[in-house]
Amino acid sequence: MKLVLTILLFLSVNFLSHGQFIHTEEFIKKIEAYPKDKLESLKKIAKLFTDSLEKSNSSDVDRAFVELLKVQTEIQDNYNKVLWESEDYESLESIMYANEKLHTQKAKEFEKYAEENGFIIQVTEGTINIEKSPTFLIETFIEFLSSSMKSYLKQYCDELKAPFMEDGGIIIDFTTFRERVLFWDNFDKQNPDFPIPNYPKNQFEFYLYHLLSGADNTPAFDWNSKIILESYLKVYNEIIQENPNTRTAHILKDYTKMLKLNSYKKNDELMNFINKYDPYKY
Most confident of 96-105, 126-135, 172-181: 172-181
97 to 56, 103, 161, 229: CA distances (angstroms): 47, 7, 19, 35
Q: What is the pLDDT of residue 19?
A: 54
205 within some domain: yes
Q: How far apart are CA 83 and CA 110, in angstroms?
A: 10
pLDDT at 17: 42
Taking only the tens place, the pLDDT of each residue in 48-90 is 999 999 999 999 999 999 999 999 999 999 999 989 888 888 8
Domain presence at residue 223 = yes
Q: What is the pLDDT of residue 75?
A: 97
What is the mean predicted confidence (pLDDT) over 94-117? 87
More confident residue, 37 or 281: 37
Q: In this structure, are 134 and 176 located in the same domain?
A: no
Among 88, 112, 143, give the residue marking a domain's end: 143
Which residue range(s) make up the domain with 258?
A: 162-282
Mean pLDDT of 150-164: 97
Q: Are 64 and 27 in contact (CB under 8 A)?
A: yes
272 and 167 part of one domain: yes
pLDDT for the residue numbered 14: 43
Read off the pLDDT of residues 7-38 as tens digits, 9 standing for 90 and up. 444 444 344 344 579 999 999 999 999 999 99
Confirm whether 106 is domain-assigned: yes
pLDDT at 100 over 90: no
Regarding whether 174 and 114 lie in a shared domain, the answer is no
Is 193 found in the same domain as 249? yes
Note whether 125 and 207 are same-domain residues.
Answer: no
Whole-structure pTM value: 0.88
Q: What b/e readout covers 44-74, taking b as 16+ CB neighbours within 10 angstroms?
A: ebbebbeebbebeeeebbbbbbbbbbebbee
Task: Determine which of 2-11, 23-32, 107-116, 161-170 has the lowest per-residue pLDDT on average.
Answer: 2-11
Closest CA to 117 of 97, 132, 100: 132
Does 200 or 6 have the greater pLDDT score? 200
Same domain, 111 and 223: no
Establish if 2 belongs to a structural domain: no
Average pLDDT, the chain: 91
Number of domains forming the structure of the chain: 2
Residue 10: predicted pLDDT: 41
Cα 141 to Cα 21: distance, rounded to the nearest angstrom: 17
Instruction: Determine the Cα–Cα distance for residues 238 and 251; give it in Å rounded to an integer.
Output: 13
Cβ partners under 8 Å of residue 186, min gap 6 = 246
Percent share of the chain, pLDDT over 90: 78
